[in-house]
Amino acid sequence: MMKEASIFWFRRDLRLEDNAGLWKALKSGHPVVPIFIFDRNILDKLQDKSDARVSFLHQRLTELQYQLTRMGSSLHVFYGTPIEAMNIISQTYTVKSVFLNRDYEPYSRERDEDIYKYWNEHNITVVGAKDHVIFEKNEVVKGDGTPYLVFSPYGKAWRKKLTDYHAKAYPNAKYFKNFFKQQPIAIPTLESMGFTGTEVSFPSYKVDESIIKTYDATRNFPANEKGTTRLGIHLRFGSISVRSLLRKGLVGNDTFVNELIWRDFFQMALYYFPDSREKAIKPKYDLIPWET
Domains of the chain: 4-168+190-278 (3.40.50.620)
Q: Mean pLDDT per 10-residue run, the chain (292 residues)?
A: 95 98 98 99 96 97 98 98 98 98 96 98 98 96 95 98 97 98 98 93 76 63 62 93 94 87 96 72 55 57
Please give the angle made by the CA atoms of 151, 156 and 158, to the nearest 5 degrees. 90
Asked whether the beta carbons of 83 and 110 are under 8 A apart, the reply is no
Q: Within its chain, how far is the Cα of 216 from the centroid?
A: 26
pLDDT at 270: 93
Distance, CA of 113 to CA of 182 (rounded, Å): 30
**What is the pLDDT, as a whole number, of residue 201?**
84
Neighbours of 35 (CB within 10 A): 21
The pLDDT score that the predictor gives to residue 187 is 98
Cβ 53 vs Cβ 234: under 8 Å: no
What integer pLDDT is reported at residue 221 of this predicted model?
56
pLDDT at 277: 57
Q: What is the DSSP string of the chain?
A: -PPEEEEEEESS---SSS-HHHHHHHTSSS-EEEEEEEEHHHHTT---TT-HHHHHHHHHHHHHHHHHHTTT---EEEEE-HHHHHHHHHHHSEEEEEEEE---SHHHHHHHHHHHHHHHHTT-EEEEE--SSSS-TTSS--TTSPPPSSHHHHHHHHHHH--HHHHPPP-GGGGGGGBPP----PPPPTGGGT----SPPPPPSS--HHHHHTHHHHTT-TTSTTTS---HHHHHHTSS-HHHHHHHHHHH-HHHHHHHHHHHHHHHHHHH-GGGGTS-SSGGGGGS----
Is the CB of residue 133 less than 8 Å from the CB of residue 167? no
pLDDT at 38: 99
